[in-house]
Structure 1
Amino acid sequence: MLTFQRFSMSAVVAGFVAVLVGFASSVAIVLQAANAAGADDAITASWLLALGIGMAVSCIGLSWYYKAPIITAWSTPGAALLATSLQGLSLNQAIGVFIFAAALGLLIGISGWFDKLSRLLPLPLASAMLAGILLQFGLDVFTALQQQQLLVGLMLLSYLLAKGLAPRYTILWVLVVGVMVALLQGDTDLSTIQFSMATPIFIQPEWSLSALLGVGLPLLLVTMASQNIPGIAVLRTSGFNTPASPLITTTSFLTLILAPFGAFSLNLAAITAAICTGEEADPEPAKRYIAGIAAGICYLMAGLFSATIVALFAAFPSEFITALAGLALFSTIAVNLANATANEHYREAAVVTLLVTASGLQLFGISSAFWGIIGGGLTVLLINKTRAKTKC
Structure 2
Amino acid sequence: MSETTQPIQGSRREYFQPVMAGALAAVVGYASTFTLVLAALTAAGASPQQAGSGLMSVCIALGILNIVVSARMRVPVSFAWTTPGMAFLLTVGEPVGGFPAVAGAFLVTAALILLTGLIKPLARLMAAIPAPIANAMLAGMLLTLCLAPITAVAQMPMLALPILLAWIIGLRFARRYAVPIAVLVTGILLATTTHLPPGALDGSWPALVPVMPAFTLDAMVRIALPLFIVTMASQNLPGLAVMQANGFVLAPAPLFIVTGLASAATAFFGGQTSNLAAITAAICAGPEAHPDKDKRWPAPIAAGVVYLLLALAASLAAAFIAASPPLLIQAVAGLALLSSLSAALAGALVHEETRLPAIFTFVITASGITMMGVGAPFWGLVGGIGMLILLRFGVKPLAGTRGT
Q: TM-score, normalised by structure 2?
A: 0.88
Partners of 1:16 and 1:241 lie apart in 2 by 24
Distance 1:237 1:96, change over 3 A: same
Deviations 1:257-293 (A, max 9, x none): 2212122210011111222222322334333222211
Distance 1:148 1:78, change over 3 A: same
Gap regions ≥5 residues in structure 1: none
Partners of 1:343 and 1:32 lie apart in 2 by 35
* TM superposition shift of 1:382: 3.5
Partners of 2:24 and 2:362 lie apart in 1 by 33
Correspondent of 1:84 among 70, 86, 91: 91
Pairing 1:38-187 to 2, within 5 Å after superposition: 38-89=45-96, 90-113=98-121, 116-180=124-188, 186-187=192-193
Q: Residue 197 of structure 1 aligns to a residue in which SS? A: coil
* TM superposition shift of 1:387: 5.6
Deviations 1:75-106 (A, max 9, x none): 00000111111433321211121111111111
Correspondent of 1:331 among 301, 315, 339: 339
Single out whichever of 235-244 and 329-338 deviates more from structure 2.
235-244
Partners of 2:377 and 2:243 lie apart in 1 by 29
Single out whichever of 168-177 and 222-231 deviates more from structure 2.
168-177
Paired position in structure 1 for 2:41: 34
Q: Residue 27 of structure 2 aligns to a residue in which SS? A: helix
Distance 1:195 1:284, change over 3 A: farther
Pairing 1:169-208 to 2, within 5 Å after superposition: 169-180=177-188, 186-189=192-195, 193=201, 196-208=204-216
Gap regions ≥5 residues in structure 2: 1-7
Larger Rg computed on CA atoms: 2
Single out whichever of 310-319 and 164-173 deviates more from structure 2.
310-319
Question: Which residue identity lines up with residue 108 of structure 2 in the other structure?
Answer: F
Q: TM-score, normalised by structure 1?
A: 0.90
Q: CA RMSD in A?
A: 2.5
Question: Which residue identity lines up with residue 375 of structure 1 in the other structure?
Answer: G
Question: Which residue identity lines up with residue 65 of structure 1 in the other structure?
Answer: R
- Kept after mapping to 1: 8 A contact 2:95/2:219: no
Pairing 1:365-384 to 2, within 5 Å after superposition: 365-384=373-392
Correspondent of 1:231 among 236, 239, 244: 239
- Kept after mapping to 1: 8 A contact 2:39/2:321: no
Paired position in structure 1 for 2:300: 292
1:357 aligns with 2:357: no
Q: Percent identity?
A: 36
Q: Residue 342 of structure 2 aligns to a residue in which SS? A: helix
Question: Which residue identity lines up with residue 116 of structure 2 in the other structure?
Answer: I
Q: Residue 371 of structure 2 aligns to a residue in which SS? A: coil
Partners of 2:325 and 2:90 lie apart in 1 by 18
Single out whichever of 116-125 and 63-72 deviates more from structure 2.
116-125
Single out whichever of 110-119 and 325-334 deviates more from structure 2.
110-119
Distance 1:23 1:390, change over 3 A: farther
- Kept after mapping to 1: 8 A contact 2:53/2:207: yes
Correspondent of 2:217 among 206, 209, 212: 209
